[in-house]
Amino acid sequence: MAAICPDGHPTEDTEYCEECGLRVPTPSGARPPGGPGDGRVRGSTTGSAGGERSAGGSVGPGPRLGPTPAAPGPGHGPGGGTAGGPVRAAEVAALIGDAPTSAHVAAPRAGAGHAGAAPAPAGSRADRSGAEHVPPPGGAPAANAVPPDDDPADLLEPPAPTLLLTPGRRPRLRGPSTVGRLRLLAAVTVAALVLAFGALAVGTRAAQTAIDDTGQDIGPRIIATADLPRALAETDAHLAALVLLGDDPDHADERAAELEAYQDSGGAAADLVLGAHDLAVDVEGRPEPTAAATDPAAAAIEGEAAAQDPADAPTPTATPEDAHGATAQAIDLAQAYARYRELAGRALALSESATYPAGEVPSDVAAARAEAARHLREEVLPLAEAVSLDATRTAFHRTKDAHDTVATARVAVAFGSAAALAALIALQVFLARRFHRTFSPALLVATAVTAIYTYTGVTVMATQTDVLTRMTADGLVPVATQAALRTEDTVEAADSTDARTGASVGAGSLDPYQDDPAEAEEAAAVFTASVAAGDAAIGGLGFLIPVSMLSIAVVVVVGTAPRLAEYR
């Protein structure tokens, strides 16, 4: 606290009181030479009209008030000079224990008289109003104005700055001034808003990142990769059929259809293997380095895929040297798949070169086909499952992190918004009491916007936590679980097909590989719906949050600034 005004208000402003607007007396030690007196300076500076209400020291023992009693100004201020040297008079009066000498008891502005003016006649207003109109000390001294037990030296000691003494009242502690409170409440409001909207922004961003990352990119690829076992199973089934049919001219049409189906499913499987590769790279956050030239397996896949549709042929991007973890696993998968196609191609070639009726597969052809099937179930499928599960696990962890961030943000939004609302209401009440205003429209708007965004923040954060939970728990995890089950089925089916190689043409059908995809599709649908809901809930908030924050801040300023100006 910097000073106390003539009316006793503690004020930070050293020139004018923040509460009542009166000029604050210059502290004695800091008074410039020739400056206008002490705490009674108003009396001495208000000019020649002073003295008309100077009123007597006869009002009795004014309590010691104010911080700068009888400050001995070294020179005469302009008012002091014209008033006949009140500073010196005050000094003397203070030293002899005669002066109440408080800035607090100085006459009010309207009646501010000369500090050094003559005592007011008996019956003046000051007489009637008691100590509040105790004259400036430069006036006629009243010898009995100070209790005899008061040490005159005490009068020079400023009281504790927060202690306000009002004549006739018990001392009481004062809080911050009106202006200070207004500023404090506005600052608290803005700080709470910054907390609430900051948390909302952080939570929204975390959710948006998780949705973009897992929902728009990794998740769909996980779902797609989950189809890999099925695509592989189809490929293998068509291979088995081709081997069983052989080059039998009676089944030429069937063979042509199976060959086309084999190429289609093989191309689809190749696409999915490349998708798994891309997925692994994305999950690991690896840069996408070089091309297929350094990766024979990927190059083989690429060529195969390009044969299906050159325009859509994917390009593998990681090199074995750069790869690690999931990426390496994906490359292993690609290489294993390439090896499978190689073995399958060999079995087909043998089948085409040998002449046998449908169903009577020669042993070397059967052995080549069996080797391909064994490679499929022992190498390719486990790797495919591992890639899918790893990606799912990573996505799950990332989503969980985002979920935790959003949940924390939700709490912060709730607390910050509640604090902001409380501060706004307090501000409103304060203005209503202190400035006699029913309400401030600007603050009412700020309160309404804050309330809307409190609800919005809490609701959106709740939606996001729910979305993130559903995305993984009800979406990706069941999808991955189904993929694992399907892999098991595929292995079993491959074994079964392998065992029946020599039996009949029918063994090449897809029947052994059929599973019920409904659950996986349902889970995938839940995942997609969750992502859409999360995206829609956030949509527009990227624009609305800063605009609302700015609007509320502007409105709070608009609502309080006129009051501050009015007060000054």
Partner 1 sequence: MSTDTGTRRAGRLGRWFSGPRRAIIVSSIGTSLEWYDYFLYGTAAVFVFGPLFFPESDPATGLLLSLATFGVGFASRPVGAVLFGHFGDRIGRRDVLAATFLVMGTSTFLIGLLPGYASIGVVAPVLLVLLRVVQGLSLGGQWGGAVLMAMEHGPRERRGVTSSWVQVGVPVGNILSTGLLALAAVLLPNEAFLEWGWRIPFLLSGGLALMGLWIRRGLTESPEFEAMGRPSRSPLLEVLRTHPRALGSAFLARIGSDVVFYVFTFYLLAYLDTQLGMDRGVGLAVVVIASAVQLPLLVLYGRLSDRWGRRRVYAFGAIGSGVWVFVFFPLLDTGVFWIITAAVVGGIVFEAAMYGPQAAFIAELFAPRVRYSGTGLGYQVAGVPSGALAPIVAIALFDWFGTAQAVAWYVAASVLVSLVGLALSPGPWRGTRAPAEEASARGPLTGAAP
Site residues, partner 1 (CB under 8 A): 441, 445, 448-449, 452, 455-456, 459-460, 463, 533, 536-544, 547-548, 551
Conformation bin of residue 285: beta by default, left when phi > 0, alpha when psi is -120 to 50:
left
d(CA 152, CA 94): 7
Q: What whole-number distance in Å separates Cα of residue 243 and Cα of residue 237?
A: 10
Q: From residue 298, how far is each of 46, 331, 336, 449, 490 by CA, in Å?
A: 96, 8, 10, 56, 23
- Indicate the residue among 491 and 531 with the shorter CB distance to partner 1: 531
Question: Rounded distance, CA 532 to CA 545, Å?
Answer: 20
Output phi, psi for 67, to 5 deg: -85, -20
- Closer CB to partner 1, 68 or 464, in the complex: 464
| Minimal distance, residue 409 CB to partner 1, in Å | 15
d(Cα 435, Cα 477) in Å, to the nearest integer? Answer: 61
Q: How many Å apart are CA 212 and CA 39, to the nearest integer?
A: 68
CA–CA dist 263, 462 (Å, integer) = 48
Alpha carbons within 13 angstroms on the beta-carbon side of residue 402 total: 31
DSSP secondary structure code for residue 173 in this structure: E
Which residues have C-beta within 8 Å of that of residue 464, sequence separation ≥ 6?
203, 204, 207, 406, 534, 537, 538
Name the minimum Å distance from CB 533 to partner 1: 7
For residues 21 and 568, what is the distance between their CA atoms, to the nearest angstrom? 6
Phi, psi of 430 (to 5 degrees): -60, -45
CB of 445 to partner 1, least distance (A): 5
User: Residue 47 or residue 539: which is nearer to partner 1 going by CB?
Assistant: 539
Q: Tell me the closest approach of the beta carbon of residue 532 to partner 1, in angstroms.
A: 9
* CA dist., res. 148 & res. 322, Å (int): 95
Rounded Cα gap, residues 559 and 568, in angstroms: 16
Least distance between partner 1 and beta carbon 429 (Å) = 21
Nearer to partner 1, 2 or 547 (CB): 547
When the beta carbons of 147 and 539 are compared against partner 1, the nearer one is: 539
Give whichever of 242 and 549 is closer to partner 1, judged by the CB atom.
Answer: 549
- For the bound state, the minimum distance from the C-beta of residue 536 to partner 1, rounded and expressed in Å, comes to 3
Cβ proximity to partner 1: between 376 and 552 the closer is 552
State which residue, 187 or 452, has the beta carbon closest to partner 1. Answer: 452
* DSSP codes, 427-472: HHHHHHHHH--S--HHHHHHHHHHHHHHHHHHHHHHHHHHHHHIII
CB of 466 to partner 1, least distance (A): 12
Q: How far is the CB of 473 from partner 1 (least distance, A)?
A: 22
Q: Smallest Cα–Cα separation from 60: which of 18, 104, 105?
A: 105
- Nearest approach, Cβ of 267 to partner 1 (angstroms)? 34
Contacts of 80 (CB under 8 A, 6+ apart): 36, 37, 41, 44, 45, 73, 86, 87, 115, 116
Minimal distance, residue 545 CB to partner 1, in Å: 10
Nearest distance, CB of residue 449 and partner 1, angstroms: 6
Nearer to partner 1 among residue 116 and residue 416 (C-beta) = 416
Choose between 298 and 449: whose C-beta lies nearer to partner 1.
Answer: 449
C-alpha 385/C-alpha 280 separation (Å) is 13
- Toward partner 1, which CB reaches closer, 473 or 533? 533
Q: How many angstroms from the chain centroid is the CA of residue 562? A: 32
